[in-house]
Structure 1
């Protein structure tokens, strides 16, 4: 029972006791008053009757006396009337047993004892004593009058008690409202949500409690934010170039391999290697500060180019003078003008440094390679480096690697096949299990595939670029969801599934309504999880927060995918409060050999656990990785170590 209810109960108990005592005293007082009124009434009746029948008492006319007594007795107010002569002998006696009305409950008669008063009046006639009249009031009449008074008192008591209870309850709730807010603060703090009370209560004790609670909330929030800042500093040291803020060579290689070889859903890609030359000469002629400013300019312009191309690009600095750009496949006719614009800005900046007009021509050279779904990260990088070396040897600004690469995914027949398969919902689903520390399956992350011309599942990298080019990624997500949720409806006890949602679906206006209708048709919505890439979340935070609230209200789960690689930190987790996080696989690749990766992943797990959210790891392929992650406190792992993807039947 809450403190407010206990206080209300205690105050009401005291008031009821006080009111009951008051009611008892008033009842006794009312009973005494009623008896006095009956005595007065009986005495008055005896007097009036004596004045009337005194001549007949002197003449001992019993017939007239009987008539007069009966006339009074029949009124029902009397239980006994006796007329005695001067010698004390009865002239006439009229009495009846106590007749208590049925309107008076038996328990009241048993509880309250009323002995109706009996009054006597000596009667004289012509200065001579002729007898005595005894009049006793009716007990039934007394009980009826007393019960009516008790009912009115009880009704008034009940009304006043309810009114008092209501007033006390409202007053206590108003006075103790700050305590309720403190309780909500404590509950929110347990969920790692930080709420302060802006208005302080006027009561001194309550004000002190609220101020102490607000101070504790601020302190805990500062601790978490400090932890996030420390993790971000570590991330910058381990994975970012200190001058440009771009990914360093180690992070570029890890994410390049993760996107092209592990996830296999990036699709056909374009890799651009850019070299600033001659860096040593520029540094000698212009100085270190000017050279660093030039490198920062190139990095900023390259990041702007990547953002204009696609939100899923990868930008990094590989070394002193080399930069990397991975983007969704771009034809040369679109990419060349943008790279030429970057070249022009670099030449302009360099010309301002070489005041004598001797700035080198083509200070930026670019080598480009294109990938299909069969290409590996190492092969793509090798081809881009060959193109870069060719550009430098032949003094060309841009050169594209000319090796033959499969182009079937760009053919018209393949485009029609992909479009037809997606529009008709012909999606083939596989899943890869997330295994908990108890070796039990947590859920299976779905991998969407379509069937090729030979009716065989083909990897996402082969068709995802076509779907993106045709604007069918949202339709692909819906086809995947429809197939997956149909499986859940048909197999109530089957595999718990996790479905990835892309940016096209998140930003589609009617997607939340459509998704809500689909989830409402499930009898077990808790068996379905929806995952969104961290980068997509941070670029569309408002839409994702609304979608997460809808998913939570319908009973399904929500997870953050590819967690830990975005530079904007973790503050969004406070409001989003996902059901789990999946640490990006690029951070897991070398975790069994890299101290930096181990420390950083341990910090990410700590962030998740601090807000009571489980943390899972992707791309686990070696038992040494698994042992390291378990030692770091991971809640679940996913990867080929636990088996290859399985068909969702």
Structure 2
């Protein structure tokens, strides 16, 4: 029971007891006073009436006079009975009024009974006693007086009681409001939300408590911000070019190696190699400061064009004069149009001192499984060709045949019509070796799509299927198919399953509503589902995404943010969505036991996540050395071929 309710009920009980006690004492005292008044009234009447009728009681013929005198007093209604007896106790005259009392409830008379005593006086004829007169006052008038007094006392005490209740409420609020604010602030601190209590109470004791908690919250906020800043400084120092602020060659190598080896995403796209062809001349003729300005100007233009294009890509500075742009999930025509926009923008900022032009661009494609050296060689060869053309850019010759958009659209429609997907599962294990959950990867039988049943079973290349679904606006439908197929098998699984959701689907409110409606109604079933959302979705997310995640977590679904660490801006969003797990970007996991910079950065990310009560998963763990190093850095869970290979979910 809350403290406010305990205080309120305790003080209310005291006030009620005081109210009832005061009312009872007042009514009881009034009853005693009325009883005394009735007794005194009866005794006075008996004495005075006895003296008045004494001369007439000796003679029987004078009894009518006595009766008249008694009627004159009895008829006023203040008496319940009058009895005149002779010396032998025989009743001479007897008068009675009914016991009824008007205007007073029966329960009140039963609660506070009035029993007025009988007052008796001797009636003397000279020195001889002629008889006795007994008078008893009627209790009706006493009850009426007692009832009126009780009503007045009740309303007066009730008014005082209400006033006391008001003061009690104010007192309880004065005590509990700061305490509730402290409790709320403590809960917020546990969620890494370092709020400050704005309303400071005047009561010295409560004021000291609130100010102490505010100071603690401020210190923890400062500590957490320092930790986040430290992680950013580690990242900037190791992976950012100091001159331009874009990612450096080390960051490119990590990101590109991970991209080419990511068996989950099967990435494909284009690499743009941008070379500042006039940089050497500018450095020689105008000095290195002018050369630095040249580099920064080109870097800003590249970042601006990439931002406005809304493509999934990043800018890296490879060396003094070379930049690289990685474009993921991009088709050829889109890449060509993007490259032309870059050349147009760079030509627009060209100066007279750039005698060889601002820059030239060589473009080469990449796919899952390619060698980084081969991709860079293709782009470099294209760059050499670009230096000899007026367009200042060139696309490397394509040797691979790709499905046309029409063919991919046909295959995607066939997949959606079949309304079924197969999965392979890869386990994510805890430090103790238990399975946290299995991540499911979709696959589609190419022969089933084409209708060929004679060849050995083949599967569509997901590295081409997924980009095609994005390009042709099938991403949401494909995600809905995969999730629906997985949910059909959810209740039969021993372990929870993890499903990837694309960034494009998460940006659609129609997908949000579909997903909520598709979830099982039972919370125990929803608890077996883990949705993995990309880190980039948080950076570009909206309030609708935050609301969706809150609804999913309320239903029991767990949330994993994957590829975490590539964009530290996502850290600020973690406090809002409160994911259950963070999956480190694979670029920081590969060969981590030989990479001190990556170890420092991962340790910073783990500290931040644990400070937010979020568990950390490391993916793409390929050997024992990587696993041991990650466990030493307090990573909670591991995933990769060293932990377990993907297996058929039907097995």
Q: TM-score range by the shorter chain?
A: 0.7 to 0.9
- Give 2:463's match in structure 1, choosing from 443, 461, 464: 461
Q: Distance in 1 between matches of 2:161 and 2:417?
A: 66
How far does residue 566 in structure 1 lie from its aligned partner after superposition? 0.7
Instruction: Provide the residue aligned with 2:134 in structure 1.
Output: 134
Partners of 2:23 and 2:150 within 8 A in 1: no
Q: Does 1:645 align with 2:639?
A: no
Most deviating of 63-72 and 304-313: 63-72
**RMSD across aligned positions (CA):** 4.2
How far does residue 237 in structure 1 lie from its aligned partner after superposition? 0.6
Most deviating of 423-432 and 371-380: 371-380
- Give 1:425's match in structure 2, choosing from 419, 434, 450: 419
Q: Distance in 2 between matches of 1:76 and 1:630?
A: 102
How far does residue 615 in structure 1 lie from its aligned partner after superposition? 1.8
Instruction: Provide the residue aligned with 1:235 in structure 2.
Output: 235
- Residues 645 and 149 (structure 1 numbering): CA distance in 2 closer, same or farther, change over 3 Å? farther
Q: Does 1:381 align with 2:382?
A: no
Partners of 1:81 and 1:94 within 8 A in 2: yes
Q: Which runs of 5+ in 1 are unaligned?
A: none
Instruction: Provide the residue aligned with 1:568 in structure 2.
Output: 569
Any idea what SS the aligned residue of 1:481 has? helix
- Residues 57 and 171 (structure 1 numbering): CA distance in 2 closer, same or farther, change over 3 Å? same
Q: Distance in 2 between matches of 1:78 and 1:626?
A: 106
Any idea what SS the aligned residue of 1:570 has? helix
Instruction: Provide the residue aligned with 1:404 in structure 2.
Output: 399
Partners of 2:303 and 2:315 within 8 A in 1: yes
- Give 1:448's match in structure 2, choosing from 442, 465, 468: 442
- Residues 66 and 446 (structure 1 numbering): CA distance in 2 closer, same or farther, change over 3 Å? farther
Tell me the alpha carbon deviations over residues 183-207 of structure 1, each in whole angstroms, 9 at most, x when there is no partner.
2112211221122233444555544
- Residues 239 and 422 (structure 1 numbering): CA distance in 2 closer, same or farther, change over 3 Å? farther
Partners of 1:520 and 1:554 within 8 A in 2: no
- Residues 164 and 481 (structure 1 numbering): CA distance in 2 closer, same or farther, change over 3 Å? farther
> 1:482-501 residue pairs with structure 2 within 5 A?
482-488=484-490, 490-491=491-492, 494-501=494-501
> 1:123-522 residue pairs with structure 2 within 5 A?
123=123, 130-136=130-136, 159=158, 163-164=162-163, 166-176=165-175, 177-203=177-203, 205-265=205-265, 267-277=267-277, 279-328=279-328, 335-336=335-336, 338-340=338-340, 342-343=342-343, 346=346, 351-353=351-353, 359-360=355-356, 362=357, 364-373=359-368, 375-388=370-383, 397-402=392-397, 404-407=399-402, 409-410=403-404, 412-422=406-416, 424-454=418-448, 456-488=458-490, 490-491=491-492, 494-519=494-519, 521-522=521-522
Most deviating of 342-351 and 208-217: 342-351
Q: Distance in 2 between matches of 1:129 and 1:345?
A: 139
Count the aligned residue pairs: 636
Most deviating of 38-47 and 151-160: 151-160
Q: Distance in 2 between matches of 1:151 and 1:485?
A: 72
Partners of 2:582 and 2:617 within 8 A in 1: yes
- Residues 540 and 12 (structure 1 numbering): CA distance in 2 closer, same or farther, change over 3 Å? closer
Most deviating of 438-447 and 515-524: 515-524
- Residues 123 and 331 (structure 1 numbering): CA distance in 2 closer, same or farther, change over 3 Å? closer
- Residues 192 and 414 (structure 1 numbering): CA distance in 2 closer, same or farther, change over 3 Å? closer
Any idea what SS the aligned residue of 1:416 has? helix
How far does residue 242 in structure 1 lie from its aligned partner after superposition? 1.4
Q: Distance in 2 between matches of 1:255 and 1:464?
A: 20
How far does residue 119 in structure 1 lie from its aligned partner after superposition? 1.5
Any idea what SS the aligned residue of 1:641 has? coil
- Residues 331 and 560 (structure 1 numbering): CA distance in 2 closer, same or farther, change over 3 Å? closer
Instruction: Provide the residue aligned with 1:584 in structure 2.
Output: 585
Any idea what SS the aligned residue of 2:583 has? strand
Partners of 1:232 and 1:569 within 8 A in 2: no
Q: Distance in 2 between matches of 1:446 and 1:162?
A: 67
> 1:492-641 residue pairs with structure 2 within 5 A?
494-519=494-519, 521-523=521-523, 524-568=525-569, 570-641=571-642
- Residues 534 and 253 (structure 1 numbering): CA distance in 2 closer, same or farther, change over 3 Å? same
Partners of 2:38 and 2:142 within 8 A in 1: no
How far does residue 588 in structure 1 lie from its aligned partner after superposition? 1.0
- Residues 366 and 230 (structure 1 numbering): CA distance in 2 closer, same or farther, change over 3 Å? same
Q: Distance in 1 between matches of 2:62 and 2:645?
A: 123
